[in-house]
Amino acid sequence: MIKILFVCHGNICRSTMAEFIMKDIVNKQGLAEAFHIESSATHTDEIWNGVGSPVYPPARAKLREHGIGTDDNELGVSQKRARLTSRTDYDKFDFIIGMDSANIRNLNSLFGGDPDKKVYKMLEFAGREGDVADPWYTGNFDATWRDCSEGCHGLFRQILTDPRFVEVLTGFADDGELSDSMISDYTATDSDPRNNLKYDDFPRG
């Protein structure tokens, strides 16, 4: 099983949006059983007496706008509550993905470093630098959706083409193998440094 943890400051906007975008991606590919996906906070701002806040309503509305968290594709959005990242999460997850530089600093401090190279920043998987801006402050949930969606699809592409995960994914695929519509040979010229890599052809969020 491939285990992914998305992390932001409070775990009610960015990391929860990423969690459910990723769950939607793997669910639509028939690979939900191959993944364990969660999200968590670096601070307790949204955790009161041990009880976490639900998904921030504008974030939940943006997910619903894209068909996530609806009656026919609920994915656990209504049950989600913020939780604090723990030291033990480092050993539990294959990917621990912070939304911004502050999240990464907090994670490295909590874990005492990143010896197994599990900690990433979200936009690395979108092929660009920078932070996913916090819509709690910006109010721009469209931008957060785009960043999280691009990052999640990039992460899924990386997992599909990573030899470490082929056996796991194949074991959970409906027909016992990864379909050509999911992974196709990357067509490139001889001079293209990406030659012989794979690319994805799965539905976008």
| Residues with catalytic roles | 8, 14, 134
CB atoms within 10 A of CB 171: 12
Burial class (CB in 10 A: 0-12, 13-18, 19+), 169: buried
Contacts of 152 (CB under 8 A, 6+ apart): 18, 21, 22, 25, 125, 205
CB atoms within 10 A of CB 45: 14
- Which string of DSSP letters, residue by residue, matches 130-191? S----HHHH--HHHHHHHHHHHHHHHHHHHHT-GGGHHHHHHHSTTSS--TTTEEEPP--TT
- CA dist., res. 22 & res. 152, Å (int): 6
- CA dist., res. 163 & res. 186, Å (int): 16
User: Residues, the chain, total?
Assistant: 205
144 φ, ψ (degrees, to nearest 5): -65, -40
Name the token pair of 115.
């010896």
Name the token pair of 151.
């990052």
